[in-house]
Structure formats: structure tokens, C-alpha cells
Structure 1
Amino acid sequence: MPDLPLHQWYAITNFGGAGLTLPLALAIALWLAAGYSMRMAASWLLLLGASIGVVTVTKIAFLGWGVGVRELDFTGVSGHAMLSTAVYPVAFFLMLQGARPALRAAGVAAGLAMGVAVGLSRVVLEAHSPSEAVAGFVVGALTALIFVRYWWNAQAGRISAAAVTLSLVALTFALHNVRVPTHRWVTHLALTVSGHEQPYVRARWKANRNNPSAASPLSQTRNTLAAPTPTPRHA
């Protein structure tokens, strides 16, 4: 594992944040609609939306009901890993329109490598377990590769590769440090749906593998005055 300073790991992990990747995904959709077709843009948004749904459902299942896999330390698909692995390959695919197929494929591979780097950063920063980061990479890679494979031979019409590249790169630099409280939103949704007052927390959930009731939100509420609740990992 690369021995990087902590601030560099945070810089890498920010490339997977929703505050950057979601605007990038929307910009990609707009360019696809302008230069290719509405159908192509819609397919991109539907694929990405389905993957976001997978991430959200797994997180709600754990936060609301404690559904996970203790043996793998799995409490939900990493959103950072999924979004980075889904968005950047498609961004390179779009920016390299008109390039030789080998170069375009290399761009897609570079996008996947960015997803690997972001997933690794989530593990190093202890925001996710390895299984959660790997799951995020797999879901994101499937999203990107299904899209790229289906539309590989699509012909661009009225857009310039230089304009696309400039806009996406500028957006990346402008929004790199923008943070969106997605974990707080998902937690609120999980509590609303489950009816619990407190979310499930990884530390207690793992520690009480033989006594599930001890890790329940009710048990956490009773113990609030005795010990602070550990901060859950997120995104």
C-alpha cells in the first residue's frame, strides 16, 4: 500500500465525493444529449441511478435494521468507490471521442484506476472496510463498462472534444473540495423508514455478533449516558 501523507489520501478520496461526481455525471449527460442523443444520455443516467440505488439500499439496510455481513465487515457499498469508478471512465470515454480505439480504451482504464485509488483511500482513512470498497468498485465498474460497451460505436455530432475536456476538467478542479452530507441524509432516511431513534453503529454491531439485541438502536439509546456512540463510517 502506498505510504502517502494523510492530506494526500484525503485529496484522493475527494475525487469520489458526491459534491464532485454527481455534477460531473450531470455534465456528462448534458454533453451526451447535445452531441449524441437523448437516448444515450438517458441510458447513462438510468445506469448511474440504479447503482446509486444499490448503494443507498445497502446503507439503509444497515443503518435502519443492522443488515450486513460481519464476517466481511460489510455494512454497505462504498458510495465514493462506486461513483468514482462509474463516472471517470465515462468521462474519459466522452473526452476521447474521435481518438483511436486503443487510446479510448486506455482512457477508460485510467478512469477505472482512479476508482481503485479512491476505494483504497477509503480503506486507508478507515471510512470503509476492504469489502465495502471492493463492492463499490465492482458496482461502479459494471455501470461504466456496460455503458461504454453498448455505446462504443456511437458517433458524436455537434460537440468538440476540446470543449468537453475543458468543461469536465474545470468542473473537477472547481468542485474537488465540495462536500455533500450524503451520509446524514441517508441516516435520516433510514431512521424514518425503520422507525428507530438511533442508527446501527459498526463498532457495536461487530462486537455483539452473538447477541444481536445488544447492538440494536434501543440498546444504544439506553447506553448513551454511559458511553458516547462511536462515529459510523460513511460514504
Structure 2
Amino acid sequence: MWNAISNVGDAALTLPLAMACAVWLRLSEPTLARTWVFLLGIGTALVGVTKILYAGCGISISAIGFRVISGHTMLATSVWTAVLALVFRGAGASISKASVIGLVVGALTAVARVLDHAHAVSEVLAGWTVGAMVGIIFVGTLGRSRTQLFRPLAAAGTLFLITSLAYGHHAPIQRLIDEHSHYLCARTA
């Protein structure tokens, strides 16, 4: 069961959803699209840096059991918060309620990652915090805008289709980090 919950944060699902949101936002209001991509880029960069530092350089904070920021947790929290806010906005519903649901999806993903022994509590707390900041800042920006979303029913259908096709697949990002990060650390030493 926990693996099934953990899958909602896998990059194979969340990154296509995030890109579909970026396209939807680009068609609606390019500034919102840039904001979304920028914020998500910061979140993913923070996750990536910690993963490279740990896998390639062996850097961790053993006192709190911290090796890396949980990417599944960060992506689940930020992407689902944004996806739900956009769908709720398109339906004329409260985006603040959508935000709460997205944050809960991220928290459940965090619990799943700990119970699957993939991460320590400190790692999922870091992932949830980064993801929540990305999601909340984006939703705040969306809430202040008066943008009418482009074809909300079609966009929501596309997001549902992506979820149906991508759920359960796994992106090879961690394997690539494990294979190549030592080269980056060796060049900086």
C-alpha cells in the first residue's frame, strides 16, 4: 500500500504533470507559467544538489540521519498542490482547499517514503517543506492573478490522462545520479 502512495511522487508522473501545467499556464498567462517553472526549478535543484553531494561526495548530516532531500516528497507536495489548485480554479472552486489537499498528498507521500525505508524522517520533512514552499508560493501567485485559465475542462482531461498513463512508472533519475555524481565531485575536489 505504501508503495502505491509513494508512486504519486515519482518523477515519471509528477514531471509530465508539471510540464502539462506549464503548457496550460503558458496558454493562459505566460507570467504564471514562468513563475511555476522557476519555482519548481528551484525545488528540484535543491533536491538534485543534495543527492549529488551524498551520492558523489558522501556528504550527509549523520546526527539527524539526513542524506538527501526526498525528491518524491518534494515533487508530490509541490506538483499536486499546483495541479489541484489549477483544476479547482478552472472549475470555479476554492484554490485554498485545493492547496490543503495537495499538502496532504505530499504528507502522505512522506509517510510512505519513511515506511518504505527509502528516507529518514529528516529527509521527508525537508522534502515536504521545500515542496510546500514551492506550492504555496505558486498558489498565492495564482490566487492574486485574475487570469482566466485556457480551456479548463480540456486541460483537466489532459492532466487525468497523464496521471492514468504515467502512474506506477519510475524515472531513472536516482540511478543516473548514482552513476554520474562522483565525476562531478571529483572535478571539484
Specify the TM-score bucket, using the shorter chain as the normaliser. over 0.9
Shift of 1:158: 5.8
Distance in 2 (CA, whole Å) between partners of 1:133 and 1:80 is: 9
Amino acid at match of 1:82: M
Which structure has the bigger radius of gyration? 1
Please say if residues 47 and 143 of structure 1, whose CA atoms lie closer than 8 Å, have aligned partners that are also in contact: yes
Equivalent pair of 1:14/1:177 in contact (CA under 8 Å): yes
* Residues in 2 aligned to 1:120 and 1:184: alpha-carbon distance in whole angstroms: 23
Q: Does 1:14 align with 2:12?
A: no
| Paired position in structure 2 for 1:156 | 147
Q: Distance in 1 between matches of 2:148 and 2:126?
A: 36
- The residue aligned with 1:32 is 25
C-alpha displacement of 1:29: 0.3
Alignment of 1:36-115 (within 5 A): 37-97=29-89, 99-100=92-93, 103-115=94-106
Identity %: 32
Quote the Cα distance in structure 2 between the aligned partners of 1:189 and 1:77.
Answer: 18
Query: Mean alpha-carbon deviation: is it higher for 107-116 or for 182-191?
Result: 182-191
Which structure features the higher share of helix residues? 2
Q: Are residue 175 (structure 1) and residue 137 (structure 2) matched?
A: no
Q: Secondary structure at the match of 2:117?
A: coil
How much does 1:155 deviate?
A: 2.7
Distance in structure 1 (CA, Å) of the matches to 2:95 and 2:51: 34
- State the superposition RMSD in angstroms: 1.5
Query: 1:123 and 1:157 mapped to 2: Cα distance?
Result: 39
1:189: Cα distance to partner?
2.9
Instruction: For 1:183 and 1:117, locate their aligned partners in 2 and report how far apart those are by CA, in whole Å.
Output: 21
Does the 8 Å CA contact 2:88/2:95 hold for their aligned counterparts? yes
Count of residue pairs the alignment pairs up: 186
TM-score (norm 2): 0.93
Distance 1:140 1:158, change over 3 A: closer
Tell me how far apart the structure 2 counterparts of residues 125 and 158 of structure 1 sit (CA, whole Å). Answer: 38
In structure 2, what is the equivalent of residue 139 of structure 1?
130
Given that 1:88 and 1:111 are in contact with CA atoms closer than 8 Å, whether structure 2 keeps it comes out as yes
Q: Which has the higher contact order (CA 8 A, sep 6+)?
A: 2
Query: CA 1:116 to 1:97, structure 2 compared with 1: closer, same or farther past 3 Å?
Result: same
- Describe the SS at the equivalent of 1:155: coil
Alpha-carbon distance between aligned partners in 2 of 1:43 and 1:158, rounded to the nearest angstrom: 15
Aligned residue number for residue 227 of structure 1: none
**Mean Cα deviation higher: 65-74 or 21-30:** 65-74
In 2, the alpha carbon distance for the partners of 1:56 and 1:76 equals: 9
Q: Give unpaired runs (5+ residues) of structure 2.
A: none
Gaps of 5+ in 1: 1-7, 197-235
Matched to 1:147, the amino acid is: F
